Structure 1
Amino acid sequence: MLNEKKQKLAHTIMVQGTASDVGKSIITAALCRILTEDGYRVAPFKSQNMSLNSYVTWDGKEIGRAQGMQADACGVLATTDMNPILLKPKKDMISQVVIHGKPLGDYAAKVYREEILAEAGDIVTTSLASLRSEYDIVVLEGAGSPAEINLKDRDIVNMRAAAWADAPVVLVADIDRGGMFASIVGTLELLEPHERDRVCGFIVNKFRGDVSLLTPGLEWLEAKTGKPVLGVVPYLPELGLEDEDSLSLDSKHGTEYESRSGTDDNKIDIAVIRLPHISNFTDIDPFFREEDVSIRYVANLQQWANPDAVIIPGSKNAVDDLHFLRESGLADRLERFKQDGGHIVGICGGYEMLGRKLLDPHHAESDQDQTDGLGWFPFDVAFAAQKRTVRVEGTAELPGLSGKFAVEGYEIHMGTVHLTEPDMADGDRIRSIPWTRPFRLRTKGDASAVPEGIASADGHIWGTFLHGVMHNDELRRSWINRLREGRGWQPLPVTVRMRDQREQSFRRLADHVRCYVDIDRIKHAMGITERSPS
């Protein structure tokens, strides 16, 4: 191996972009998988990530979802060294700052910039050094654009990170946006000479059409900049790997936001409430793979249409998102949907909304001491300063579904559910909803499981803190089949295996990028001249 006996630090390569959402995370994942396939021990790295879509590591720490996905592409366990600083936006100009997987606190952007960033360099370089001592190659990912002049003096995630890692930089541009040539040339023009020297070439991403028509422009670009085009990557539809944040969510499923006058008569229609502070929206990704399901986002009453089921997803600010539900009229519409026998699932923040009260006397999540929930179930949620981040496994017995299902996933929440009448037996009525606790979960490795979640006795309404609950194939298919039963349709067998399909997606991505990108030239830029270990 390249760093056998730890005689030298890992080689490095960095993926930066001309803008946000140009495909940096996916190109990084592709390089991670390609280099892993070539026999190297590879790790991803992003010094600072801003995302509401997070990932829980094997030891119960929280990092950016993209770095967790990239670690999976490498076939290694994700650690906080791969993303030592995570920013989770809570409201305008305020984010929760997570250092090595644990919350440090909530900070306004100016305070974070002036106080925290001054010490961030040591955090980043220590993590980077740790990875470089353990792996053969570290693939770094930047954020946004390296040419944001107002941010460069405190940069810890783009060119300064590249310098710390002594990494050549591949600059990615999204041709699907238009203005690709101006984006590349303009980015280079705004870099300092020593930063410009780090750029070893360009990748044109999301290309559609005849590449021969692009060739004259690529030749001009190489002559203008003196740097090579390393590849033109055609748009790859329906890849099925996790998106990083709500910006990519909007671009990926943008057409689903448009108002519908009706539903597809041939598919189960599932509406997902588009909360302003939606988080961990990858919980619904499995439904996009089910051929008998149409899944769409609903942000207002005009988009409601006639769903078979509604999912209230995770939220980084459940209090403000409850206000959104009421102000938009969606809370009243959910109430009518419930009374009409509709199927509703709340996940994490959506689960918290199903109870009576959200209590936050220490302002751990909001600036309000108490907020009324939807009031459907007899519990209150108390927010604590300590966040629960764990991987869990166990079983689910949801009313209306046949059998007991093995489940696994992860929890990320600051709220704790407290039954307001703990001596009540299952079946007693609160607002005419008999209830039960359908999940029995334990932290991975523990022997004992505890009750979790809540469900109406008929199974039409249920909630859980379990992120990834719908990634459990048998449970998901059984729930969809119950919705099919409501349409008078026959049940279908499990055909979507999420774990297998995810691995297929990694292979498909690697094969695709390997076909269109000069990997040997990238290796040469990294200083790798010997043959691959494999």
Structure 2
Amino acid sequence: MTLIHALMIQGTSSDAGKSLLCTGLCRIFKEDGVHVAPFKSQNMALNSYITSDGGEIGRAQGVQAEACGLEATVDMNPILLKPKAEMISEVIVHGKHFADLEAFSYREEYVPKVLPKVAESIERLATQFDLLVVEGAGSPAEINLKDRDIANMRIADMLDCPVLLVADIERGGVFASLVGTLELLEPHERARVKGFLINKFRGRKELLDSGLVWLEERTGIPVLGVIPHFDHGIDPEDSLALDSLRLKARDRADADLDIAVIKFPRISNFTDVVPLQEESGVNVRFVSSARALGKPDLILLPGSKNTVEDLLWLRHTGLADAILALDGKHTIVGLCGGFQMLGETLYDPDRVESVHEHVSGLGLLTLETTFLAEKKTIRNRGRLLPQAFSAHEVEGYEIHLGRTDRKSDAPFLQFDSGEFDGAISKDGRVIGTYLHGLFQNRAFTRDFLNHLRVQKGIAPLLGDVETEAERREKSYARLAAHLRQHVDLERVYEIIGGRHVYVD
């Protein structure tokens, strides 16, 4: 294998902050003149990203590529697992659907088959970049899974690279998690750990210092940074991060618009919601029961990894009836799977989504959806068709199984290719689209919310709106500055192999 310099970030647990730290380090190395790229051999996430050539990878690696100033490629995340049912995941290899597999079968039969795909991606990246920032998955110390783990120490061995171990102090037990992880590693694996990072710290650092001294004396491994909790504004990756989004969605005293987001059990691409949370005067609530629905101004049905099962859940919980019983003074938006649910009928003759051949939708749009075996994954852009929003061109991405046919409802937008997408009811109160990232088009989002305000008799918000690209760039720069302040980067460079190796 071609030699390449690499630095791997592993964690003592899921959601310790690996993705975010990799993003920040990618931006730092880019700022320092390093030709750097992200890499994660195997990701498990329902929040995915579409590359420019239509490949599907974990969203974290798409974000990290942006921080590097790069177009993401499928080599940056060659294996993506997307849970779709109990113990069953869709396996995506090099951006394309490979199989739907039960967890045991994947581990025992297919891990040996996909590992060469990982090696191929590393080989290609090694010919293009000087440094890889490599993200681990979960914990390297899951002893029941280690023999088939292709996301942590096995990858560090393949790359022959040092590892920084990050722990989330917010969870408690940070010293036990670091020492315990080391204790469960094999000696050669432990030798790869060259530094600790303690993440999400709140409070006075001097109260932690004695513990840091003990940790370094006990393990012989330096603490390279204690990183304070930071509101970074960068897309979260997956379900554990969704909990933090729910905490962020507190009632706002100044809110003039109330938005209820239906929290499906198999919710996917939930970052569609984030721009709404970031708007002034908006209260966003995640709702999973009929009692909690209330009378919102906007109901958002987000994407789903299993539309049929989540639609049946919507009926079982009473949420479907509660939505249909509202007084009609609200607006409903369905994105991707949520769009499919708004129609009249969903057909699944080949049992692609579930065991049900057909189910009835909510009947709020005159649509019929038929699920197909082939998944559509594409970036797309176009112009909105409703008169209220006709000034807006929007861009985003599609990830879906199925074809949806409109009957009497008008389409919502027209892509640059000429293809029509989505639907809008005659009264304009029900909207559906396959376009993920719709609300990342910030000028449209402001106008859309102002449209809801006007319907309520409330004055619209005025002022300039930053683009999504401007927001992201500021977030990456803030994160890099934050890490520069709290991480010993000189020692990080020494661990990698020296600053002079990378700067042109």
Report TM bin, short chain.
Answer: over 0.9
Supply the distance in 1 between the matched residues of 2:290 and 2:254 (Cα, whole angstroms): 21
Tell me the amino acid that sits aligned with residue 336 of structure 1.
A
TM-score, scaled relative to structure 2: 0.97
Work out whether 1:135 is the aligned partner of 2:129.
yes
- Choose from 178, 192, 195 the match for 1:201: 195
- The 1:529/1:241 distance shift into structure 2, 3 A limit, reads closer
Work out whether 1:234 is the aligned partner of 2:234.
no
Supply the distance in 2 between the matched residues of 1:265 and 1:211 (Cα, whole angstroms): 35
Supply the distance in 1 between the matched residues of 2:431 and 2:122 (Cα, whole angstroms): 43
Show CA shifts across 1:410-440 (max 9, x none). Answer: 0000111023x4xx5xxxxxxxxxx311200
2:481 aligned partner: 511
Work out whether 1:99 is the aligned partner of 2:93.
yes
Work out whether 1:249 is the aligned partner of 2:242.
yes
- Choose from 269, 274, 278 the match for 1:280: 269
Show CA shifts across 1:388-408 (max 9, x none). Answer: 000111100225x25331111
Show CA shifts across 1:172-215 (max 9, x none). Answer: 00001100000000000000000000000100000011101100
Show CA shifts across 1:96-135 (max 9, x none). Answer: 0101111112111011111110112211111012112210
Work out whether 1:489 is the aligned partner of 2:478.
no
1:286·1:498 contact (CA, 8 Å) conserved in 2?
no
1:527 aligned partner: 497
2:389·2:448 contact (CA, 8 Å) conserved in 1?
no
- Choose from 352, 377, 397 the match for 2:385: 397
How far 1:379 sits from its partner (Å)?
1.7
2:212 aligned partner: 218
1:449 aligned partner: 418
How far 1:155 sits from its partner (Å)?
1.2
Show CA shifts across 1:432-453 (max 9, x none). Answer: xxx31120014xxxxx311110
Tell me the amino acid that sits aligned with residue 145 of structure 1.
S
Q: Secondary structure at the match of 1:377?
A: coil
Paired residues, number: 503
Supply the distance in 1 between the matched residues of 2:168 and 2:255 (Cα, whole angstroms): 35
Supply the distance in 1 between the matched residues of 2:349 and 2:155 (Cα, whole angstroms): 40
TM-score, scaled relative to structure 1: 0.92
Show CA shifts across 1:353-398 (max 9, x none). Answer: 0111111111112121111111122221111111000011110022
How far 1:461 sits from its partner (Å)?
0.7
Supply the distance in 1 between the matched residues of 2:443 and 2:500 (Cα, whole angstroms): 47
Supply the distance in 2 between the matched residues of 1:340 and 1:291 (Cα, whole angstroms): 25
- Choose from 252, 257, 275 the match for 1:268: 257
Work out whether 1:458 is the aligned partner of 2:446.
no
1:411 aligned partner: 398
1:289·1:496 contact (CA, 8 Å) conserved in 2?
no
1:9·1:133 contact (CA, 8 Å) conserved in 2?
no
Structure 2 counterparts to residues 116-515 of structure 1, below 5 A:
116-237=110-231, 239-254=232-247, 256=249, 264=253, 266-337=255-326, 339-399=327-387, 401-419=388-406, 421=407, 435-442=409-416, 448-493=417-462, 494-515=464-485
How far 1:531 sits from its partner (Å)?
6.9
Which consecutive residues of structure 1, in runs of 5 or more, have no partner in the other structure? 1-6, 425-434, 443-447
Supply the distance in 2 between the matched residues of 1:394 and 1:487 (Cα, whole angstroms): 29
Structure 2 counterparts to residues 72-91 of structure 1, below 5 A:
72-91=66-85
Supply the distance in 2 between the matched residues of 1:85 and 1:179 (Cα, whole angstroms): 32
Supply the distance in 1 between the matched residues of 2:152 and 2:2 (Cα, whole angstroms): 24
Work out whether 1:49 is the aligned partner of 2:43.
yes
Task: Provide the alpha-carbon RMSD of the alignment.
Answer: 1.6
- The 1:126/1:532 distance shift into structure 2, 3 A limit, reads closer
Supply the distance in 2 between the matched residues of 1:217 and 1:36 (Cα, whole angstroms): 33
Show CA shifts across 1:325-351 (max 9, x none). Answer: 1011110111122x5231000000000
Q: Secondary structure at the match of 2:386?
A: coil
How far 1:9 sits from its partner (Å)?
3.6
Which consecutive residues of structure 2, in runs of 5 or more, have no partner in the other structure? none
Tell me the amino acid that sits aligned with residue 396 of structure 1.
L
